[in-house]
Each structure stands twice: as C-alpha cells, then as structure tokens.
A and B are shown apart, each in its own frame.
Chain A
C-alpha cells in the first residue's frame, strides 16, 4: 500500500474516531505571521516527502492509540516517524542543518523523558514534564527573527531558515516541531482536569470561608497570619484555615433577660476577648467559641458565647452589679436578628430564649 493510500485511510479512520481527533489537534488560523512555519490547520494534509511528520498525519495515524490513551505507543510511533521523516532526510543548507541537529537532539530527549513520565502514576506526569521545557519546539518570533527551541538555557532559540531554502526542508522542521509540541501538550493535558477540580474545590472552600466565617479585623488577620505561618491552621497550603484565633473583636448585640415575667431587651456594647473558630465538615460549618465581655447599664459582664455557623452567636453574660445580686443574661449578636425579622421564627426563638433565661435565672438564684 503506498503512502498516500495509507494516509487517506488514516484520515478516514480519524474522521470516524471523533474523540481521537479531538484529543489533540489544531484548527485553522485565520491570520498568522509565522508563514510556512505556522501551526498546520485541522484536517490539513502535509504534502511532499515531509508529510510523514505533519501533525495531522501523525494524529490520524495514531488516532486509535490516542483514544486508548496508550501514550507509550504513541510516543514510540511519533519517534519512529520523526526518525524517518526528519532524521532520514538528505542534509540541506548549513542553517537548516544546524536547526535539524538541535531539533533532533531536543526531540530525542523530550520523547525519552515523556516516555519515562507516562510510566509513572498520572498525578506525577506534570511534575515529570515540568523541567523539560515542553514548550520549546513551538516556533515563535523573537526580535523579528523566527526561531524555535527557546529554553531557559538557550534564550534566543535557534533560527528557522525562512528564505531561499528548500521548502520541504522547512516543512519537515516546522511540522516536526508542531507535532512534538502537540503530543507533549496532549500528555500534559491528561493532568489538567483533576487539577482544575482541585482548584475549584479550593475556591469553593474559600467562598464558604468568606461567606460563612466571622469577619476578621486587621489585628486578627495579622495574628492569624502568624498562626498560619506556624502551620497551626490546618488544611492544605492553598486552603483557607480550619483553625483561627479571635481576639479583641468588638461587636454590637443585645441581651435578653427574663425579669418580672417578661423578656427585657437591651442593646449592648460587647467584645470577644479571646477564643477560636474551628471549621468543620470541609469548611462548611464554622464553630466559634469565645469569652465575651459586655457592658450594659454601666456594668461589665462576662461569659462564653458560641457562634453557630451562619446562625448567629448565642451565649450568656454573668453580671454582678455593685451591691446587687448577680444575674445572667442571654446574649445575642446582631446577626441573630435575622431570625427575629420572621414572625414565626421570632416566636420560636423567643420561646427558646424564655426557657433558657428561666433556666439561667434559676441557676443564678442558687
């Protein structure tokens, strides 16, 4: 079977294997200053004897392997094709030969390292590819020159011969470069969906942290920055903390106290003296426990307050006026008012408060 027939069959096979075609491919580029070295369009066919290394031809040829994610076979197949299509070509001009030598060296190393990478657990592939400069075979302009093989250690890359050269020589070089670029990115992409999920999960945790957690004042942020630096906050490096301190945090609230058979309500200026927030259930539920100081009617009382997620803060304040018996109040932070705006809920809460206040008053009398 001659090459053209094989290529037609491969193209047909690729057309049938929609997923494979989609696995990695290029599409048409409306404008492109790279000229002959531009990334070949989707479905284009590499003409001439350089066609063996054309990205579309290689993608079609290995479509089934790509669909099966048999990357070892794909890498080996690409390597063999490049051996024939690029290395096997007759030598050209000095400039083209210089690029060809550099490119074949780079491709050998890239494919060998990619081969090693895909034999490891998938989670490590990106890390294995990271030191390789997998982007280096992409042709690009630099200071008006068309180059490829730009790397950290070869910043200026190697010039692509563009004028007065055998065009098939340039085709072979550029098509090889794009084929390897596409292959390495396809392998690299295998690790992207899981990474995106991790990033989204982290983002969701931060959103919950911001939406449901207590507002922190600057000095608390500064304090918790130290806590985080000491690695005491829990969670991953990129996650919001699971444990944070609360310190010197003023808040407006009100207290409810049962007296003479009624519930007395009074505004209060209070502050969380100290405490902590613990995030539970993958940061879905913050639980804060603080010791609160509250001033009302010129008497400062103290007591514990628990913040229950987004529901608000509740606790009790023990207050001992001079020359009078001590009493305890039920303390609510302002965000608990949300409950009281709803009549039905308000009744329930007040009923609950009444019971609690009675209990507290009973305890105080003892």
Chain B
C-alpha cells in the first residue's frame, strides 16, 4: 500500500524502441523511465528522507505511470499503410478517407511535405485522441487510475493522489478526471479522492476541449472561478516561453493566484534546446517544489521557492547559440501565425502542432550537431 499515489502521464509521440516486436505494449512499458527517474532524483536531493518511487515501502509515495500510447500505437499499426510514404498529409487522408469531410481535411492543408513526418510521428496522436479514440483512451486511463487506487487501498481508504501531465497528456488527463470526479454514481467513492496536487506541463487542454471546458471543470484549483466543484487542492501550470505547444494549446485561465491555489510557472531560461521536454519542465523548482510540498509534506515558503528558482536559472545555456537564436525566431514566427489563426478546435490546431514539433526537433538536432562540432574541435 502507499500513502499517496503520484500519477504521471505522457504527451505525444511515445513510440516503442526500434526493433520492438510488440510496439503498443513496449511503448507503454518504456516511455516513463526518464520522467520517473527525474522525479525520484529530485526528491532524493531535496527531501532526502522521502520514500518515493515505483516500489516505495509501506506508506511511501507510489509513482504510477499512466499510458495511452499503447492504444494509439495499436491503431497506428492497424492503419500503417496510411502513414507509409505519404508526404502530403491532407491529400493522403482526402484520397483514402473521403468521409472525413472537406471542412476538416482543409484544416490539414497547411501541413507541408517537410512537416509530414512530424505529423505521422507526433501530431497524429492529437487527431487520434481528440477525433477518433477519446472514449476508449479515457476508459483506458481511468482503468489504470482506479486499479492503482484499489491496489493501494488499505484499511478502508483509497490513497490520496497527485497528478503530473505533459502536453497531450494534459488534455487526456483533464478529460478523464473531469469525467471521474463528476460521476460518483458510476465511480463511487473514487470520485471523492483527495487530490493533493495537479501539475500540468505545456497544457493543451483548452484547444482540445472535449467533454468540458477546463476552466470550469472539477479539474481546477480550490478558489478558481465558480468555487463550487473545484477539486484540486493546488494546480501548478508550467509553460516555457519558447515552447510553442502550450501557446497553441491556449490554456490561459483567469484564475487569480492570490485568491486561488493556482500557480503559473512561466519559464524562459533555455536549459535544453527541446523546450517542450517533459523532463526539463519537471526540473524547474516552480514545478517540483510545490508538488513535493503537497505529497512529501516538505514545506516550501515563497522565499525558498524564489531562491531555488534563482539557482535553477543559473544553469549555463546549451552550447549552440545559433541554434537557439533560430529557435527563438521560429517560435516567434509560429506564435504570429497562431495569433492570426486563433485555433479553437483540434482540427485547426493540428498543422500548428505539426510545425511546432518540427521547429523543436530541428533546434535539438542543430544543438546536438553544434555540440559535437565544438567537442570535436577541442
């Protein structure tokens, strides 16, 4: 049993390692290693006596990775021919699946042939979740949550819970929890779980709004908006200024941090050219410190948090100034495009998500290359 369960859920593009014979299952079994290792390592450093991990002792904090990539990969394998060799995403889908409707297909026409690989490897997940498989995926994630709570229930109580979600996972988890918390007739006492903290990293749940507006659902912090029905003791929302994904995601609630338990962490220091990295978000003290305060009873005053953030921001920039400059320009340009488009639906956002994935990947590749060149020159 565990005193608290920390659920962690992934974003887009989680696939099995190359050569996998069971890609769906292997994707689910492997995606979480880095984020979980990061959480455990941060906890060991900042709360050394804390018992947290995949196998904590009794009364520790159990980390439970939640997966939905297995459902996505399963379907992509079934549709494999749809993804092979198709560089013009819109034309490929139009030719093969005319029933999708012209109005939706037109939204994909902005995906260039250069970006098509990023569509099939990442952004297609958004489409699969939001348009095709949402009910199935919510059920899949909900079952994992309920099983973990049941497994760790002890002496007449389910453990308290906390959640960390990233990217597309913010939409999946929001929808799953909103449904779960709203329906105590179906889900019994599970609907009354004690949610100690909810962390969303690069939140996209607004543009992918599905069942319920995330600004008004139970997945909002105490004191936010209409006070009745808010169920998160604290809600930590982090976004990087140079990560275009949350910008497209459009999650900008008007919750007041002074009167609600909402904290907005805006990052601008580049610690990694992949500004959308799950792990880099986790490493920011604005994210982990309030999370650990909630789940490890490790108090953090605002002054301490400020000091931790200052220390974190002293980290050196990655050694690829030119690549980072290009990243800045590309992100600004993408933001301008998104501002003009004002996407409000999943379909409208797909091409922007695809382009964003390319921009980040190119910056990452350029930075690795620059690092290799610098290393080789020594």
Q: Which residues 237-252 of A sit at the B interface, judged by CB distance below 8 A?
A: 237-238, 240, 247-248
The total of chain A residues at the interface (CB under 8 A) is 74
Residue of B at shortest CB range from A152? Answer: B230
For chain B, the bracket of interface size reads: 35 or more
Is A288 close to B, CB under 8 A? no
- Which of B184, B187, B227, B299 is the most central at the interface, judged by chain A CB atoms within 10 Å of its CB? B184
CA distance A129 to B187 in the complex (A): 13
Give A154 to B97 CA distance when docked, in angstroms.
Answer: 52
Determine which of A31, A130, A140, A206 lies in contact with B51 in the assembled complex, contact meaning CB atoms within 8 Å: A31
- Kindly provide the distance from the CB of B67 to the nearest chain A CB, expressed in whole angstroms: 14
A222:B131 contact, CB within 8 angstroms: yes
A130 is contacted by which of B131, B146, B192, B259 (Cβ under 8 Å)?
Answer: B192
Does B188 lie within 8 Å of A153, measured CB to CB?
A: no
**Chain A CB within 10 Å, residue with most, of B74, B98, B132:** B132
Q: Say whether A196 faces chain B, with CB atoms less than 8 Å apart.
A: yes
Q: How far is the CA of A182 from the CA of B297 in the complex (A)?
A: 19
- The CA of A138 and the CA of B132, in the complex, are separated in Å by 40
Q: Which residue of A lies closest to B57 (CB)?
A: A30
**Contact of B40 with A by CB under 8 A:** no
B21 at the interface (CB under 8 A from A): no
Residue B301 is within 8 A (CB to CB) of chain A in the complex: yes
Residue contact A33 to B299, C-beta cutoff 8 Å: yes
Question: Across the interface, do B79 and A199 meet the contact criterion of CB distance under 8 Å?
Answer: no
Contact A195/B186 with A135-B194, A141-B294 known, Cβ cut-off 8 Å: yes
- Residue numbers in A under 8 Å from B296 (CB-CB): 33
Q: Are A34 and B297 in touch, CB under 8 angstroms? A: yes
For A222, the chain B residues whose CB sits under 8 A away are 97, 99-101, 131-132
B residues less than 8 Å from A248 (CB atoms): 98-99
- Chain B contacts with A in 94-146, Cβ cutoff 8 A: 97-101, 131-133, 135-136, 139-140, 142-143, 146
Q: Are B132's CB and A189's CB within 8 A?
A: no
Q: Judge if A218 is at the interface, Cβ distance under 8 Å.
A: yes
Q: Which of A18-26, A168-176, A254-262, A320-328 contacts B (4 or more CB under 8 A)?
A: A18-26
- The 8 Å CB contact of B260, one of A38, A131, A155, A195, is A155
A347 at the interface (CB under 8 A from B): no
Does B150 interact with chain A (Cβ within 8 Å)?
yes
Cα A125 to Cα B185 with chains together (Å): 8
A186:B99 contact, CB within 8 angstroms: no
With A152-B227, A185-B156 as known contacts, state yes or no: A124 contacts B146, CB within 8 Å: no
10 further interface pairs, Cβ-Cβ under 8 Å (given A129-B192, A131-B229, A196-B190): A126-B188, A134-B192, A155-B222, A155-B223, A189-B158, A192-B188, A217-B97, A218-B132, A219-B98, A225-B132
Identify 11 residue pairs between A and B in the complex whose beta-carbon atoms are under 8 Å apart, listed by A's number.
A27-B155, A144-B302, A152-B229, A153-B223, A192-B153, A194-B188, A199-B142, A200-B143, A206-B139, A222-B132, A228-B135
